[in-house]
Chains A and B, each alone.
Chain A
C-alpha cells in the first residue's frame, strides 16, 4: 500500500530542514604560531621530495607546514615568524587558515634563509626569546611550533643557557602565561655538509672544519682542570686547536628533547606532512569552540528516504506473487464473430 503518510512525513521533515536554525555545536580549532629557523644549517639538503630529489630542511619545513595547514579545520589560525641567531621576529599574527589561505601560502613560500639579518644560530636563546616575544605581542593563547634542526653555531657554553623551566613557570610571583607548544626537529640523523653561498645566493661549496669554531669559547669553562693548556687569563679555553665536526650537521634530537622537557613542550621529528599534522593536532593543542553548525541535512536526508519509499514500486519484494497479470492466454478479439 502506498500510504499518504510517507509523503506527509517527508513534507514535514522538509519543513524542519528549511526552518531549522544553525545549532551551536562544539568543534575543535587550533591556533598556532609557527617559528621557523632560517639559519644556514637549514640549507642542508638531507630530505627528499616526492620525486626523490634532495631538498633542504627549510624547503621541507615549508612544504610540510603548508600541507598540514591545508588539512586544518576552518576557524583555525596560523601566525608566522622566523628566527636567526638568538632573535625571533614576528612576520604576522595568526590569520584564519581558510579565508586567508592564499596569503599564508604565499608568505610561507617566500621564507628564505637570506631573510636572516645576522648569521650564527643560538637555538636555546632563540627559543627562550620566542617565548618572551609571544608574551610581548600577546600571543600566549597560540601554540608555538618551533621548527629547528638544533644546530648551535658556534657551540654554546651550557653554563650560560637560559632556564626554560623558569620561563614557563606560572607561579604567583611571576604572573605570566604558560605557552603550549611543540618543537619540530628537522634533518636527518646522519651528518651532512652545510652548503656555503656567496652574497648573490650562488652555492660556492660547503663549510669546512676550518670555517667554523669547533667548540665554545664564550664565558668561563665549567671545569678548567679538564682543559688542556688552560691559562686563566690568556687561554681560558686552552691553547690547543680543537678538532670536531661542527661543520657538519644532523638533527640534534637529544638536545631538542632536552629543550622541550623543561619547557613542557612536545617534540616531533619532521618526516612526513601527515605525521606533522598528527603531532600538530594533538589534543593538548586543540581549543574547543562553539560553532554554529548547519544540521539541516539530517531531516533532509530522512525526508529523501521517505520520498524514496513513497515511490518504491510496492511489488518489488514480492515479484513472484503477481496477481494482477491476466491469466488468460488466448487472445479473444472483441469484435469476433
Chain B
C-alpha cells in the first residue's frame, strides 16, 4: 500500500480524534449518587463502542479531507513485448513523397506515412517500452524509453517537422544503442532504423557499432524508405567501378549490418502499403516474454473515507436518538 496525502497539513486535525476520550455526545445529567447506577460490563463495552465510533468518524473525516490516496503503483508482470527504440531519419529528403516529389493531399510525404504507421504500431503494443531518437548530421535525444504512450506519440510527431541536413546513420544508431546502457535485459531489444538514405561508416564507427550491438544484444530492423527509381538495398552495381560505398551507400550499409552478430532484418519500403506490411512483420517477430511494469494509476480514496465517516456518524446519530430525555 503506497499511501499519500494531497494536503498532509490537514492531518494536524487528527488531534480531534482525542475528543471522544475527553467528552461525549451526551448531555451530562445530575444524579444523586453515581453508585446507584453501577456500570455493568455491557455498559462498559457499549461506552467503548461509542467512543470508538467517534474516533472513527473524526479520523476518517480528517483523512478524507487530507486527500488520502493510493499512489501510482507499478506491478511487475510477465507478458510478451519488447523495448523498442525508433531511430528516425530527419534529413531533408524525408519531406518528399515515395515518388520523390513534393507532397500533396493524395500522396503524403514519406515522413508523414512513417509517422502515421509508427503511431498506430505504438498504440497496438500496450506493454512495450518505446524510445525515440532523431538524427540528421547530429543525433538528438527526443524521448527516453518509456511506457507512457502519450509521450512516445508526441515524440513521433517530430517527424512532421521539416527535415534538416544530412544522414549520419552511425551517430543516430549510437545514440539509440545508448538507451539500453542501463536497462535491465528483459524481453527483446529492438532498434528500428527508419531512414531514406544511407551513409558510409568509417572504421571507428563500424567498430563501435559492432561492439555495442553485441554488448547490448539489440536486434536491428531497417526500414529503408526507397524513393522511386532510387538506389535500394538490393540494387546490384552495373559496373565494378560503381561497386563502392560512395556510390552505393545503401548496399554497403546493408552488408555491414549483415555482419553484425545480431538478428537483422531489412525492409525496402517504397509504398505506404509495403511499410505497413513491414511493420506488421516486426509486430509478429518481436514478442519474446517480457517482464514489464503495469502502471496502476493513483487511486483517490477520499470518497471512501467520507463514506466511513458517514457510517460512524449515522451510528452515533442513532445512539444519540436513544438518549434518555
Contact = CB atoms under 8 A, between A and B. Distances in A.
Nearest to A312: B23
Given A8-B317, A102-B146, A311 B24 contact: yes
B148 interface: yes
Contacts of A312: 19, 23
Given A103-B146, A297-B65, A15 B164 contact: no
A107 B313 contact: no
B150 A14 contact: no
Contact of B27 (A1, A82, A107, A307): A1
B49 interface: no
B306 A133 contact: no
B197 interface: no
Interface in B115-156: 132, 134, 136-144, 146, 148, 150-151, 154-155
Contacts of A90: 157-158, 160-161
B313 A10 contact: yes
Interface in B287-325: 300, 302-303, 306-307, 309-310, 313-314, 316-317, 320-321, 323
Interface stretch (B54-62, B210-218, B236-244): B54-62
A303 B61 contact: yes
Contacts of A324: 28, 30
Interface of A: 1-2, 4, 7-8, 10-11, 14-15, 17-18, 79, 81-82, 87, 89-96, 99-100, 102-104, 106-107, 110-112, 114-118, 133, 136-137, 294, 296-297, 300-301, 303-304, 307-308, 310-314, 324
A117 B150 contact: no
A259 to B, nearest CB: 22
B110 to A, nearest CB: 16
Nearest to B307: A18
Contact of B151 (A100, A116, A117, A133): A100
A300 B143 contact: no
8 contacts: A7-B317, A17-B64, A90-B157, A95-B154, A103-B144, A117-B136, A117-B137, A300-B309
Given A14-B313, A313-B22, 9 more contacts: A11-B310, A17-B306, A96-B150, A99-B148, A115-B139, A117-B166, A304-B61, A311-B24, A311-B25
A172 B157 CA distance: 30
B160 A91 contact: no
A21 B160 CA distance: 41
Q: How large is the interface on B (under 10, 10 to 19, 20 to 34, 35 or more residues)?
A: 35 or more
Q: Which of B24, B157, B323 has the most CB of A within 10 A?
A: B157
Contacts of B321: 4
B46 interface: no
B256 interface: no
Contacts of A115: 138-141
Given A7-B313, A312-B23, A89 B164 contact: yes
A92 B58 contact: no
A18 B160 contact: no
Contacts of B302: 294, 296-297
A118 B142 contact: no
A93 B28 CA distance: 68
B23 to A, nearest CB: 4
Contact of A106 (B58, B65, B144): B144
A313 B316 contact: no
A92 B61 contact: no
Given A18-B310, A90-B158, A307-B58, A314 B138 contact: no
A89 B19 CA distance: 63
B90 interface: yes
B143 A107 contact: yes
Contacts of B79: none
Given A18-B306, A136-B162, A300-B61, A79 B154 contact: yes
Interface string B217-231: 000000000000000
Contacts of B45: none
A14 B309 contact: yes
A4 B62 contact: no
Contacts of A89: 90, 134, 140, 158, 161-162, 164
The 3 closest A-B pairs by CB, nearest first: A90-B161, A110-B141, A103-B151
Contacts of B61: 14, 300, 303-304, 307
Nearest to B72: A99
Contacts of A307: 16, 57-58, 61, 313
A314 B22 CA distance: 12
A117 B148 contact: no
Given A103-B148, A115-B139, A11 B317 contact: yes
Contacts of B157: 90, 92-93, 137
A89 B144 CA distance: 18
Contacts of A300: 61, 64-65, 306, 309
